[in-house]
Structure 1
Amino acid sequence: MTERVVVLAGGVGGSRFALGVRSAMGDGAELTIVANTGDDLWLSGVRLQPDVDSIVYALAGVNDAERGWGRAGESEHVSGELRKWGAGWPWFTLGDLDLGLHLARTGWLREGLTPTQVIARMAERWPLGARVLPMTDTEVDTTVTVRNGSSTRTMHFQEWWTRHRATLEPLHFDNPGIRQALPAPGVAEAIAAADVVLLAPSNPVVSIGPIVAVPGIGDALRITSAPIVGVSPVIGGRVVRGMADICLAAIGVATDASAIASHYGSRDRGGLVDAWLLAEEDAALAPTVAAAGIRSIVTPLWMRDEPTAKALAEAALVAARG
């Protein structure tokens, strides 16, 4: 019997985890990755999908593993030229190889293809060993409202994250239009048919949050017969990468593995997860997770390379099957 696994993912942690899951799955298993598209944006006339691309590049083996994002062997001639023209965002670098994909994507979108169809076309060039789906085909880019002196200011998430390095105090995050969005074709169906659903150790607020906020996806997760296992993005009270701690603080969640588990909530109590992987450094938090109605599993969480990412994925799959 074919095992069907669905992973919800975004960001560098999500792409590394997706690669590990693919390595950990048995022959003939079916892997579907639902990618966050809240990070998407229009820049210099082209459509960027950072999380989608990070996942696709990782699965295709063309990613820059050292930086954790973008293509290996990149050059930045076009970004340099754009800066000379005063175009785009001078603090947001577009690699030349990366820009080639953005141009192709934009052309296909202009021709009438959906983001789902664009990703499928990308997979024709690179065998991915998985089906990658956007969370929705609707544009629901993430915005951040920040404190600006005595007033407030709203900007695209990428400006806050990349330009300001999350140093401006966020008051709240939004995805304009998400209440009218629909899950991308195949997303709800994949969750319904899954044998296992995994929440990657991605940013709970701006990576996993937008996915489950798409009407229909949260409900599909709550009613699927598949066990849902989440992986903590926090180890020893610290985020593994990025500024997720600042995002968590904005929604009133502590940078704590058990607090994030409670944020997702137990499915028995109307939440999203059945089991939660904790780092060995956070073993003392296992009783707190259990008190929230979530089964906890203590295991190494560091993904330093593909073997450790595979080991983490194997632990998540074992937790689901157990």
Structure 2
Amino acid sequence: MTQPEDRCVLAVDVGGTTIKGAVVDEDGRFRHSLVVPSQADDDPVKAVRSLCLRLRDDALALGVTPAAIGVVTPGIVDEVDGVVRYAANLRFRDVPLRALIGNDLGLPVAVGHDARAAGVAEAVAGAARGLDNFLLLPLGTGIAAAVVVHGMPVSGATASAGEVGHMPVYPGGEPCSCGQRGCLEVYASAGGLARRYARLGGTPGSDSRAIADAVATDPVARAVWDDATQALGTALATLTLTLDPARIVLGGGLADAGALFFDPVRDALRAALAWRNPPPVLRSAFGAQAAQVGAAVMARREAGLPVPDAWGAPELVPPVG
């Protein structure tokens, strides 16, 4: 008979490029991880369901019994009904993930937004631990925000809260895939930075890390980097004036650049707030795995299991790669 300490939860983070899955034990340790292509150009729903089944079977092979699964995606996510209403990078529209995965696995399923899930992780055991009001912005393929107010992630009237990547920061600027111009995501997401760098004459195929490494010697890299940090600082000033967060947490690949990234972002934020002090801007404690840890927390709550303070702390989560 399975003892309580043999229980686990499954955590799945669906991205535009990859799907990351993990078996997470009672103490918040990652016992096993999987990464597969999301196959956004083929059948991403099938890819998600296949990984979830494989993850359940792997957990059973490890001798632990899944109590629930948490699955998080980008886009407009109806967390109450467990439906992804729209996710452009995944080509999801009205996908009933909770019903599909629940039928496949026979487990309770928590479905959530990846940025809000990352905010849950940072609040429980990361850079926003102990705070009731904060912002988390993971800077990845796109940009969304977890807006936490009075201890609760805000989803909004249409489950679209936090889509700050489409906040205009350069009115009349470069076109965005959403149909607007000058969106934050065009300039300050990892994907947008790479696209602008290549379009302006930089080395094709360079990612945000390569661009950061080239800032000191490559004028094109310096120009797109300066545009990105200025755009983000401007956006953070608007969010600060609107929401008055106690702290702003930044994650994703750009945050890995450390002071090269954080110093100009903080400077731009400070310069845009003439009459008040800016909130502290810190790096995510979990980095690229914040959403996955948040998915595990959501799964435990869905299963009625406790989530102690500091559960899933970063030292329990192995680094990516």
State TM-score, norm by structure 1.
0.32
State TM-score, norm by structure 2.
0.32
